């Protein structure tokens, strides 16, 4: 319901573009339908973080879930492209509360190895949700472009569990009793800013897949259901890798894992850029999924290890903002490259940039240590 919230309707974009072809600037507006939630998540996440620290986790999550179901499913009923965009904007505000709220709860409940393990579980279930929702979105898009919007009603399946099975942590009561007000505790540091930058860059690189790949594949004779299957295959690999995050973290530092993420994504893009068949596209997405599976748990645990518990909601809200601002701006940043190099050329260029970031992330700490030892 979070990272893949926008991508759920990705298989429906070509059909939506055809339906609204008479609308001025339909080509751009249809792509905004996919990315609009990311902008509102980026705007709303810091505010949801403040509410999480002030009101508590559970009330914010409940309100966010109700809005998620109503706003997300509104696209099924609307036949106005601008009306759909408004619904997607409200969905973004809901996702901001859902993602920040649940991630903050996990940080409240667990620490140490159990935190690493559960963050892996969280990202793993994000991936498994992506498998189910993207497959469903693909098959429903073959029926009609409106039908994938019904998937967002899943929020009302989750809501009773939140109402009756989630307990508010004791952290709220203890933080109120502290002599230093929560508002005066800062969490911004060089390390936290670095985490936010890595999150932003990772999402700019990742989100070219759900935005551009459906159009690339359909132009080459691939059906909406096959687009959904391709994206779901990537999500499945990401889920499997996420579930192994505790073992990965035991062997590598946060910075090294970030480097491995960029290397896997870069290699995946290079394969996409040189693909000559649907099977090769799937191979590229599978390798890309290896990197994608490490992104969210690594960033979450990295951030939590660097911040005071009393401002956890706001810090995680800032991370959510960075992730989804990257998603929203990804098409804007990539568009000039697409205009000059075409889709496959853009895959190659973005892949090269990602590989470079991976080499720097993996190699810089090694060079730094050797330099210090020589000095």
CATH number of the CATH domain containing 226: 1.20.1250.20
Which among 80, 95, 70 has a CA at the least distance from the CA of 33? 80
pLDDT tens for residues 43-102? 998 899 889 888 888 999 999 999 999 999 999 999 899 999 999 999 999 999 998 899
Q: How far apart are the first and last CA of the chain?
A: 50
Contact 169, 52 (CB under 8 A): no
CA-to-CA distance for 103 and 110, rounded, in angstroms?
11
Neighbouring residues of 134: CB distance < 8 A, sequence distance ≥ 6: 4, 7, 8, 10, 11, 228, 231, 232, 235
Q: Six-digit token pair at 294?
A: 């490490």
Domain span at 250: 7-374
Task: Assess if residue 2 is contained within a domain.
Answer: no
Q: Are 288 and 234 in contact (CB under 8 A)?
A: yes
| pLDDT of 259 over the 50 cut | yes
303: nearest Cα among 49, 98, 62? 49
Tens digit of pLDDT for each residue in 10-36?
888 888 989 998 888 888 888 888 888
Torsional class of 166: left (φ above 0), alpha (ψ -120 to 50), beta (otherwise) = beta
The whole-chain average pLDDT of the chain stands at: 86
Both structure tokens of 25: 């600037």
| Within-domain flag for 333 | yes
Q: Is residue 44 part of a domain?
A: yes
pLDDT at 76: 93
CB 255 within 8 A of CB 261: no
370 class by beta-carbon count within 10 Å (0-12 exposed, 13-18 middle, 19+ buried): exposed
Pairwise CA distance, residues 268 & 272, whole Å: 6
Q: Is residue 1 included in any domain, yes or no?
A: no
User: Do the Cβ atoms of 130 and 4 come closer than 8 Å?
Assistant: yes
Q: How far is CA 35 from the centre of its chain?
A: 11
371, pLDDT greater than 70: no
Q: Is residue 211 part of a domain?
A: yes
> pLDDT tens-digit profile of 95-149?
999 988 998 898 889 888 899 899 889 888 888 887 888 788 888 988 999 999 9
> What is this structure's pTM?
0.79
Total tally of structural domains belonging to the chain:
1
């Amino acid at each position: 319901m979070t990272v893949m919230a926008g991508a759920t309707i990705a298989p429906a974009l070509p059909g939506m573009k055809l339906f609204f072809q008479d609308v001025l600037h339909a080509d751009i507006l249809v792509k905004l339908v996919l990315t609009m939630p990311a902008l509102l998540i980026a705007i709303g996440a810091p505010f949801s973080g403040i509410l999480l620290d002030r009101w508590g986790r559970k009330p914010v999550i409940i309100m966010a879930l109700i809005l998620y179901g109503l706003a997300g499913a509104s696209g099924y009923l609307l036949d106005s492209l601008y009306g759909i965009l408004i619904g997607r904007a409200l969905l973004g505000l809901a996702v901001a509360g859902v993602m920040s709220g649940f991630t903050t709860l996990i940080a409240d409940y667990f620490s140490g190895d159990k935190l690493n393990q559960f963050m892996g579980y969280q990202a793993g279930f994000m991936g498994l949700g992506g498998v189910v929702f993207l497959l469903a979105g693909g098959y429903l898009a073959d029926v009609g472009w409106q039908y994938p919007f019904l998937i967002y009603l899943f929020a009302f399946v989750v809501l009773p569990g939140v109402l009756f099975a989630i307990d508010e942590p004791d952290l709220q009561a203890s933080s109120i009793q502290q002599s230093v007000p929560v508002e005066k505790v800062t969490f911004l540091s060089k390390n936290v800013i670095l985490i936010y930058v890595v999150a932003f860059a990772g999402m700019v690189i990742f989100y070219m897949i759900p935005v551009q790949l459906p159009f690339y594949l359909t132009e080459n004779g691939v059906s909406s259901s096959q687009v959904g299957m391709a994206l779901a295959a990537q999500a499945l690999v990401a889920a499997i890798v996420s579930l192994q995050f505790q073992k990965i973290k035991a062997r590598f530092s946060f910075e090294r894992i970030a480097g491995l993420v960029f290397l896997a994504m870069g290699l995946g893009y290079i394969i996409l850029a040189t693909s000559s068949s649907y099977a090769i596209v799937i191979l590229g997405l599978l390798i890309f999924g290896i990197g994608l599976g490490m992104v969210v748990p690594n960033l979450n645990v990295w951030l939590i290890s660097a911040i005071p518990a009393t401002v956890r909601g706001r810090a995680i809200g800032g991370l959510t903002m960075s992730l989804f601002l990257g998603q929203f701006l990804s098409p804007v940043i990539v568009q000039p490259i697409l205009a000059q190099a075409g889709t496959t050329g853009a895959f190659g260029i973005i892949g090269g940039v990602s590989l470079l970031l991976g080499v720097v992330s993996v190699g810089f700490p090694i060079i730094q240590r050797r330099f210090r030892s020589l000095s």
